[in-house]
A and B are shown apart, each in its own frame.
Chain A
Amino acid sequence: MSSTERAQGPTGGTDDGPGTAEFVQEWRNAAYNCYSSGHKFCREVCPVMQVTRNEVHTPTAFHANVVAMEQGLLSIEDVARDYVHCTQCGACELRCPNTLYTGDFYRFRTRTVQLVKAVRALAVDQGIHQPGWQRWVEETDRQRSEPVLGEVPVSQEHVADWAAGLNLPVGGETILFCDCEGAFHRTSVPRAAAMLLKAAGVEFGLMREQWCCGGPAAEMGYTDRAREFARHNVDDWRAVGARRIIVFDPHDYITFTEDYPAWFGDDYDFEIVLFVELLAELVRDGRIQLTRPVDRTVTYHDACRLNKRKGVHAAPREILRAVPGLTFKDVDHVTQWSYCSGAGGGLPIERPDLTAEISRRRVERAADLGVDTLVSACVWSERPLTEQGGKRDDPIQVLDLLEIVALSAGLAEEPA
Chain B
Amino acid sequence: MTATLVTDPVIDELIGICGTDNVFADRSSRVNRARVPAPFPVHRWAEHVPDVVVLPTTAEQVSEVVKLANRHRIPVVPRAGGTGLTDGAVPLRHGIVVDVKLMNRILEIDLDDRTVTVQPGINMLKLNEELQKHGVIYPDDPASYPCSLVGGRIGTSGWSLIGGRYGHTRDLVISFQIALPTGELIWVGDGGGRKVRKSSTGYQLKHLFMGHQGTLGIVTEAVLELVPRPEAEFAAFFSYPDYETAWRSTGALAKSGLATLAGVVLFDEWKLDYLRRDDEAYIPQSDDVRCVVATAMYGTTDEVRPGARRLLRIGQETGGAYLGDEISQGDWASRHDRYATPLHGRLRDGQVVPMSWHCEDASINWSKLPQMRREWHDIVARLGDRFRIFDDWGMFAYTNGAFKPWGDYLTEIDVGIWEQELDDASWDAWVTAKRDIAAVAIAHGGSISACHGACRAGEVDLVPAELGGGWDVMKKVKRVLDPLNIMNPGKYLLDQAYEGDPA
Contact = CB atoms under 8 A, between A and B. Distances in A.
Interface in B78-113: 81-83, 94, 99, 101-102, 104
Interface string B327-361: 00000001011101111100000001011110000
B33 interface: yes
Contacts of A44: 123, 125-126, 146-147
21 contacts: A1-B11, A1-B24, A8-B26, A11-B1, A12-B27, A36-B354, A37-B340, A39-B83, A40-B83, A41-B336, A54-B29, A55-B33, A56-B29, A56-B32, A65-B28, A65-B31, A98-B343, A101-B334, A101-B338, A101-B341, A106-B278
Contacts, number: 157
A27 interface: no
Interface in A253-278: none
**By DSSP majority rule, is chain A's interface helix, strand, loop, or mixed?**
helix
B32 A71 contact: no
A171 B46 CA distance: 60
A74 B357 contact: no
Given A40-B83, A98-B342, A108-B343, A1 B28 contact: no
Contacts of B37: 37-40
Interface string A187-221: 00000000000000000000000000000000000
B301 interface: no
B55 A54 contact: yes
Contact of A54 (B4, B30, B101, B341): B101
Given A3-B8, A8-B27, A37-B357, A104 B147 contact: no
Nearest to B338: A101
Interface in A76-90: 78-79, 82
Contacts of B26: 1, 5-6, 8, 78
Nearest to A68: B31
Contacts of B30: 10
Given A40-B83, A55-B101, A95-B146, 18 more contacts: A6-B11, A8-B25, A10-B27, A10-B46, A35-B356, A53-B102, A54-B55, A55-B33, A56-B28, A65-B31, A71-B42, A71-B45, A73-B31, A73-B45, A78-B28, A102-B343, A105-B279, A106-B278
A367 to B, nearest CB: 14
A97 B341 contact: yes
A97 B122 CA distance: 21
A366 to B, nearest CB: 15
B121 interface: yes
B420 A53 contact: no
Interface of B: 1, 4, 8, 11, 15, 20, 23-33, 35-37, 42-43, 45-46, 49, 51, 55, 81-83, 94, 99, 101-102, 104, 121, 123, 125-126, 144, 146-147, 278-281, 334, 336-338, 340-344, 352, 354-357, 419-420
A102 B281 contact: yes
Contact of A41 (B27, B36, B337, B343): B337
A39 B281 contact: no
B86 to A, nearest CB: 13
Contacts of B419: 32, 36
Given A44-B126, A55-B99, A39 B82 contact: no
B354 A33 contact: yes
Contacts of A106: 278, 343, 352
B28 A53 contact: no
A320 interface: no
Nearest to B79: A55
Contacts of B11: 1, 6
B281 A104 contact: yes
Nearest to A69: B31
B15 to A, nearest CB: 7
B49 to A, nearest CB: 4
A100 B338 CA distance: 9
A41 B147 contact: yes
Interface in A99-114: 100-102, 104-106, 108
7 pairs of A and B residues whose beta carbons are closest in the complex: A38-B37, A36-B356, A10-B49, A53-B101, A97-B337, A40-B147, A36-B342
Most buried by B among A36, A43, A65, A78: A36
Contact of B354 (A29, A43, A54, A74): A29
Nearest to A6: B25
Contacts of A102: 278, 281, 341, 343-344
Contacts of A32: 342, 354, 419-420
Contacts of B104: 53
Nearest to A83: B28
Contacts of A73: 27, 31, 45-46, 49
Contacts of A1: 11, 15, 20, 23-26
A350 to B, nearest CB: 16
Nearest to B33: A55
A64 interface: yes
A67 interface: yes
A10 B342 contact: no
A38 B31 contact: no
B48 to A, nearest CB: 9
Contact of A37 (B28, B29, B33, B341): B341
B411 to A, nearest CB: 21
A54 B54 CA distance: 10
A98 B281 CA distance: 11
A46 B146 CA distance: 12
Contacts of B24: 1, 56
